[in-house]
Amino acid sequence: MNENRLLCLGIESTAHTFSVAILSENKILSNEKEVYVPPPGEGIHPYEAAQHHLKKAKKVLQDALIKSKISIKDVNVIAFSAGPGLGPCLRVGAVVARTLANYYNKPLTAVNHAIGHIELANFFAKAKDPVVVLVSGGHTLVSTYLFKKWRIFGETLDITLGQLFDQLGRELGFNSPAGKYIEELAIKGKKYLEMPYSVKGNNVSFSGLLTYAKNLIKKGYSKEDVCYSVQETAFAMLTEVTERLLAFSEKKEIILTGGVAANLRLQEMIRSLCKVHNTKFYVIPKEFSGDCGAQIALVGLLQYKTNNLVDIKDSVIRQSWRIDEVDVTWRD
Amino acid sequence: MERLIKIGAEANIYLSTWHGLKVIKKVRRTKPYWREELDLKIRRSRTIRETYYINLVKKFGILTPVIYFSDPFKGEIVMEYIKGERVKDVVEKDITKSYDLFYDIGRKLAIMHAHNIIHGDPTTSNFITKEDKLYIIDFGLTFYSQRIEDKAVDLHLLKQVIKSAHPKYFEETFRKVIDGYSNVYPLANKILENVKEIERRGRYATF
């Protein structure tokens, strides 16, 4: 098969999700995943998640190849999520990627997971110069692109939105990720309970809000009202920070991405900025909002095209890896 | 006669007239994403804060606009129009000139911190230069605190903004800020240590 297109196989393995995707330059050919689910009321256990990924890796890889109708021999580059994330989980993805690259003699590229969230959202949005709002279990930040880096203007000073929901969910007996359960309860909430509102300049802090909400649950307040109030408060804080960046940067597009981007109330709040500031609003499609191989494959392909590759011996994982440390080789 | 000149993050800024004077009218908008109670509360308290602290810091020799009128219930402040340039724009145009400005920013922040006043939003668009003098605006998030941590957060905010908005000049400009800050404030070292600590606490920080 001599197709005139570039193909990338991307492996995502930073936390709950093990996923493999195959991508051409303009199409996601497959995006298969298996998600580790901890027992109810518990958070992710890194070792158990890694065990899960090890067991599922072969099946997910096979499914992705079959679905895309691509032979691995035709793939141009193998990409893996090198960080940030949980060490044991990252290692599984890295080992699978190195093995494939070595056995099939393919180039290897190391992708920053968060950059994956951003670029995949923009793959659909095709925005020119957006303000990015990245909200997930690992990140809560607002960013714009400038001089070869995604710059962080504001972020959480402690826990992320995803962690806020997961930890509140744990208190309520849900398993992580708990965002969707919190959202369902919040819709039924009627009464707004006053909560700590913490915006420090362009940054937010959710830990005080979490403690406060957990205490209200312990005191027997309605779960629905607490979830509703937590969402309203946390999202208002994030939206305020987004608005601050919008006003400061004077940009005309917003992209909302990451797992928590699927929350409809958050979308509604961020969208409410657009009329005031005359901006366009884009949100990542729901099926791609959570962690997936497509985000890794996409950035992998962009890196491959700009010769941003890594030798197997140097293909280390990075549990801590901020987006403003990544050299963006594919943007001007 | 009134003209909207800037839609800010929380307020609309109008060029207006007040008893024959050319003035700025800052009107805090109702935010669609805040619940009504919260919206009223926050807009009112920030209007009061801003009016109070803009006046207060003048006593320490910090230049701020003169307040002519303030209505917390409407979220409106009428103040002096400072026809200058934002430091944000000066950096990109004339970096040598902005070194002096950043030194002065460091000094002024230190003076405020020495009096336990935390600006709360020291971004490069909130410093204005006019005839080589530095004005500080936007005191809506300003508060009183003796805590080292709060002062460090203030500096961290400024550092973050310079790093993200003016990355080319980050090293030199922030050093100027520190120079100015340390020059007037004996506690500077302690606070700068705390800034590092805040960075270490950040997500995925590597040190």
A275 and A296 in a single domain? The answer is no
B115 and B155 in a single domain? The answer is yes
Residue B105, classed as helix, strand or coil, is helix
Question: Is any Cβ of chain B less than 8 angstroms from the Cβ of A141?
Answer: yes
Q: Are A74 and A22 in contact (CB under 8 A)?
A: no
Closest residue of chain A to B12, computed from CA coordinates: A276
Number of Cβ atoms within 10 Å of the Cβ of A41: 14
Which two structure tokens, joined as six digits, stand for B171? 């090293």
A273 and A142 in a single domain? The answer is yes
What b/e sequence results for B83-116 when a residue is b if at least 16 CB atoms lie within 10 Å of its CB, and e otherwise?
Answer: ebbebbebbeeeeeebbebbbbbbbbbbbbbeee
Q: Are B116 and B144 in contact (CB under 8 A)?
A: yes
Q: Are A119 and A90 in contact (CB under 8 A)?
A: no
A319 and A196 in a single domain? The answer is no
Interchain contact, A152 vs B160, CB within 8 Å? yes
A110 and A136 in a single domain? The answer is no
Confidence band for A4, pLDDT divided at 50, 70 and 90? low
A78 and A189 in a single domain? The answer is no
Cis peptide before A130 (omega within 30 of 0): no
* Residue B207 forms part of a structural domain: no
* Residue B182 forms part of a structural domain: yes
B70 and B121 in a single domain? The answer is no
Q: Is the pLDDT of residue A18 over 50?
A: yes
* Residue A331 forms part of a structural domain: no
What integer pLDDT is reported at residue B35 of this predicted model? 83
B72 and B111 in a single domain? The answer is no
Question: Is any Cβ of chain A less than 8 angstroms from the Cβ of B5?
Answer: no
B69 and B89 in a single domain? The answer is no
* Residue B69 forms part of a structural domain: yes
* Residue B112 forms part of a structural domain: yes
B49 and B94 in a single domain? The answer is no
What integer pLDDT is reported at residue B33 of this predicted model? 87
Give the ranges where chain B is alpha helix by DSSP (H): 36-58, 87-93, 95-114, 148-165, 170-184, 188-201
Distance (Å) from the C-alpha of residue B44 to the closest C-alpha of chain A? 15
* Residue A247 forms part of a structural domain: yes
In a mutagenesis test of the B interface, which of A203, A209, A319, A328 is the best target, namely the one with the most B β-carbons within 10 Å? A203
Q: Are B178 and B106 in contact (CB under 8 A)?
A: yes
Nearest-5° angle of CA A140, CA A234, CA A40?
A: 80
A143 and A281 in a single domain? The answer is yes
Kindly provide the residue ranges of all beta strands, DSSP E only, lying in A4-114, ordered along the sequence.
8-12, 17-23, 28-35, 77-83, 108-112
Mark whether B121 is an active-site residue: yes
What b/e sequence results for A3-13 when a residue is b if at least 16 CB atoms lie within 10 Å of its CB, and e otherwise?
Answer: eeeebbbbbbb
Q: Which of B33, B157, B204 sits opposite A239 (nearest CB)?
A: B33
B71 and B103 in a single domain? The answer is no
| pTM assigned to the model | 0.92
Closest residue of chain B to A154, computed from CA coordinates: B160
A278 and A311 in a single domain? The answer is no
Reported as type and span, the H/E element at residue B23 is strand B21-28
Give the whole-angstrom CA distance, residue A53 versus residue A47.
10
Residue-wise pLDDT tens digits, A144-174: 999 999 999 999 999 999 999 999 999 999 9
Q: What is residue B132's DSSP assignment? A: T
Closest residue of chain A to B199, computed from CA coordinates: A157
The domain boundary, picked from B80, B105, B131, lies at B80
* Residue B76 forms part of a structural domain: yes
Reported as type and span, the H/E element at residue A298 is helix A293-305
* Residue B161 forms part of a structural domain: yes
Give the whole-angstrom CA distance, residue A209 versus residue A219.
15
Which domain, by its residues, includes A103? 8-117+290-325
A108 and A248 in a single domain? The answer is no
Q: Which of B7, B9, B204 sits opposite A322 (nearest CB)?
A: B204
A132 and A250 in a single domain? The answer is yes
- Which of 17-76 (B) contact A at CB < 8 A? 29, 31-35, 37-38, 42
B106 and B48 in a single domain? The answer is no
Which domain, by its residues, includes B109? 85-201
B19 and B119 in a single domain? The answer is no
A195 and A258 in a single domain? The answer is yes
* Residue A330 forms part of a structural domain: no
The domain boundary, picked from B38, B55, B80, lies at B80
Domain containing residue B176: CATH number = 1.10.510.10
Domain containing residue A110: CATH number = 3.30.420.40
B138 and B106 in a single domain? The answer is yes
* Residue B16 forms part of a structural domain: yes
Nearest-5° angle of CA A218, CA A219, CA A224?
A: 80
What integer pLDDT is reported at residue B207 of this predicted model? 62
B113 and B183 in a single domain? The answer is yes
B160 and B104 in a single domain? The answer is yes
The domain boundary, picked from B80, B106, B126, lies at B80
Distant-in-sequence, close-in-space partners of B48: CB < 8 Å, separation ≥ 6: B70, B72
Residue A325, classed as helix, strand or coil, is helix
What integer pLDDT is reported at residue A141 of this predicted model? 97
Task: Count structural domains, chain A.
Answer: 2
Interchain contact, B202 vs A155, CB within 8 Å? yes
Q: What is the pLDDT along chain B (207 residues), one digit of tens a residue?
A: 799 999 999 999 999 999 999 999 999 999 988 888 788 888 999 999 999 999 999 999 999 999 999 999 999 999 999 999 999 999 989 999 999 999 999 999 999 999 999 999 999 999 999 999 999 999 999 999 999 999 999 999 999 999 999 999 999 999 999 999 999 999 999 999 999 999 888 888 876
Task: Count structural domains, chain B.
Answer: 2
* Residue B107 forms part of a structural domain: yes
ipTM field? 0.88
B54 and B139 in a single domain? The answer is no
Domain containing residue B8: CATH number = 3.30.200.20
Q: Are A133 and A238 in contact (CB under 8 A)?
A: yes
Place of tokens 């969910």: A169
Residue B128, classed as helix, strand or coil, is strand
| Residue among B200, B164, B195 nearest B178 (CA) | B195
